[in-house]
């Protein structure tokens, strides 16, 4: 069967119309054009077998830090300078190992990462060790005033941890349980409340 080819010129283009498929007109075989056949041949994708773990799954888990960390308060503060306002961040951080050691720190920096780093280092400098009973409670009650905050911690066997605000965070990270904590002032400054709680725990004696 003869192939019918019609050529029509449109401006600078040449359009070729044929009743035969293009593969029949220009056969591509490995003998004729091995490089063309190689490019047309799809290479199989290398896939991992089902159920195989990804490379990340084989990595060792990240080591847990010695202390747990909780950010109590984050504020953006402004300082008026000659050229205008200069903004920075102020963060209050509580750290503890839930085994008797706890500390409160304050950090300021141009960004939150720097402020958290400074607050964590400040908290480690002011770590205290809480004297607890075998059940995790306290030997006796204590009331302490720090700045404008007055707090009280009372042992209460079998009740768990009954506290709120920043006091609960400090007591949890210190590993204290079976106590009732109260704030006797209207102050809502988390920094002074946390430091008053730490001061109260530091006065506990067996």
Could you tell me which residues come within 8 angstroms of residue 89 by beta carbon, excluding any fewer than 6 positions away? 74, 75, 76, 77, 108, 109, 110, 111, 112, 115
What are the pLDDT digits (tens) for 22-47?
Answer: 445 445 444 545 554 555 555 555 56
Collapse the DSSP code of 69 into the 3-class scheme (helix H, G, I; strand E, B; otherwise coil) and give the result: strand
Domain harbouring 151, CATH code: 3.30.230.10
Same-domain pairing of 147 and 119: no
Q: How far apart are CA 194 and CA 169, in angstroms?
A: 8
Same-domain pairing of 144 and 180: yes
What are the pLDDT digits (tens) for 148-184?
Answer: 999 999 999 999 999 998 999 999 999 999 999 999 9
Q: Tell me, what's the pLDDT at 15? A: 47
Q: Tell me, what's the pLDDT at 25? A: 47
What are the pLDDT digits (tens) for 44-91?
Answer: 555 655 655 555 555 555 455 788 999 999 999 999 999 899 999 999
Domain harbouring 123, CATH code: 3.30.160.20
Q: Tell me, what's the pLDDT at 11? A: 45
Q: Which of the listed residues 81, 102, 128 is the one where a domain comes to its end?
A: 128
Of the chain, the end-to-end C-alpha distance in Å amounts to 109
Range of the domain at 185: 130-202
What are the pLDDT digits (tens) for 124-139?
Answer: 999 999 999 999 999 9
Same-domain pairing of 171 and 160: yes
Same-domain pairing of 198 and 140: yes
Which helix (H) or strand (E) element contains residue 106?
strand 101-109
């Amino acid at each position: 069967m003869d192939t019918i080819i019609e050529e029509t010129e449109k401006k600078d283009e040449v359009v070729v119309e044929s009743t035969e498929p293009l593969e029949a007109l220009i056969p591509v075989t490995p003998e004729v054009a091995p490089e063309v056949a190689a490019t047309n041949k799809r290479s199989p994708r290398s896939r991992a077998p089902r159920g195989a773990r990804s490379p990340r799954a084989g990595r060792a888990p990240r080591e847990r830090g010695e202390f747990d960390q909780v950010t109590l308060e984050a504020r953006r503060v402004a300082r008026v300078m000659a050229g205008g306002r200069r903004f920075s961040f102020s963060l209050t951080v509580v750290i503890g190992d839930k085994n008797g050691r706890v500390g409160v720190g304050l950090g300021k920096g141009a960004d939150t990462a720097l402020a958290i780093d400074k607050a964590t280092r400040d908290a480690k400098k002011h770590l205290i060790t809480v004297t607890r009973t075998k059940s995790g409670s306290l030997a006796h009650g204590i009331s302490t005033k720090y700045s404008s905050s007055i707090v009280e911690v009372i042992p209460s066997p079998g009740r768990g941890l009954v506290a709120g605000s920043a006091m609960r965070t400090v007591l949890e990270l210190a590993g204290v349980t079976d106590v009732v904590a109260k704030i006797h002032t209207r102050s809502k400054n988390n920094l002074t409340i946390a430091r008053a709680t730490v001061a109260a725990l530091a006065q506990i004696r067996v």
